[in-house]
Amino acid sequence: MENKNHIITPYIKKDYSNNSLITNVYIESTSNNTSKGLLGLQPTELSAVTSFITALVSLAIAFHTITKYRKDRQQQQQIELREKKITFANNEKEKIEKFYGPFNSLLEESRIIYSHFALKEKEKLRSEGKYFRALRYLIQSNNNNNNVLDTHDKELLQQIIDISDKITLLIESNSGYVDNPELHTLLGKLIAHYRILKCAARGVLNKDNSELEDIVFPLEINGAIDSEIRKLKVIINFESKKENIIETNKNISFY
């Protein structure tokens, strides 16, 4: 027999004590409830659920870790890229600050002083439809053993020589900032002209050195320097605006 909570089982037990057979009928009641765990689940079921939940949690943690790593890596790459662009822009600024800017200023200073040098001779040649060349003028003056330079022109010539020395030193010290091979060639011609001009100013060149008159100032140098400065400023402005870099050196704008 069976009820909700118990199972009633009758059974017979024989007893042979006292040399006689005694038959007894017993009724045994057993519980019908099987042991259950948390939430009414069997232990095996509970173990399976726990394992499943653990697997889900582990998967979620792994997914979160991978996503965070990927995001952090992307941010790091963006930071590295921005730093490279900032470094590149700063390198271009340095080219202007250390070479092109000072070089351009010295050239302009020399041009202004040169425009006031040997005015009478320039006017004379202009009236004859000829061009004035300082190197030729100095060599011819040395050849005639006649110092035609007055005090005014002597002082201006000395200033021009002093500036040429500064330009030569600047080129020799910082020409590594020049990337254009054609500009390197022009700079070489410029230095050669300055050295010959300095020799002529010292009076050591004469008609025997007339072939040196062809070592003239390379007029292309001004346009080449201006072109390089414009190119560098375009790069700097582009990178600065794109990366929100504040330009701290206002001399860049001056050049």
Q: Please indicate, yes or no, whether residues 238 and 166 belong to a single structural domain of this protein.
A: yes
Q: Does any domain span residue 51?
A: no
Q: Please indicate, yes or no, whether residues 105 and 180 belong to a single structural domain of this protein.
A: yes
**Total of domains in the chain:** 2
pTM tops 0.85, yes or no: no
**3-state secondary structure labels for all residues of 61-122:** HHHHHHHHHHHHHHHHHHHHHHHHHHHHHHHHHHHHHHHHHHHHHHHHHHHHHHCCCCHHHH
Q: Please indicate, yes or no, whether residues 29 and 95 belong to a single structural domain of this protein.
A: no
Q: Does any domain span residue 66?
A: no
107 vs 29, 70, 77, 114, 223, CA distance in Å?
Answer: 119, 54, 43, 10, 11
Residue 126 to residue 202: CA distance in whole angstroms: 26
Q: Please indicate, yes or no, whether residues 27 and 96 belong to a single structural domain of this protein.
A: no
Q: Please indicate, yes or no, whether residues 29 and 107 belong to a single structural domain of this protein.
A: no
Q: Does any domain span residue 38?
A: no
**How many Cα atoms sit within 13 Å of 82 on the Cβ side?**
11
Residue 165 to residue 110: CA distance in whole angstroms: 11
Q: Does any domain span residue 58?
A: no
Give the tens place of pLDDT for each residue, 100-153.
999 999 999 999 999 999 999 999 999 999 989 898 888 888 776 656 788 999
Q: Which domain holds residue 17?
A: 6-33
Q: Please indicate, yes or no, whether residues 213 and 121 belong to a single structural domain of this protein.
A: yes
Q: Please indicate, yes or no, whether residues 117 and 241 belong to a single structural domain of this protein.
A: yes
Q: Please indicate, yes or no, whether residues 16 and 132 belong to a single structural domain of this protein.
A: no
Give the tens place of pLDDT for each residue, 39-71.
566 777 777 778 888 888 888 888 888 888 888
Q: Please indicate, yes or no, whether residues 234 and 144 belong to a single structural domain of this protein.
A: yes
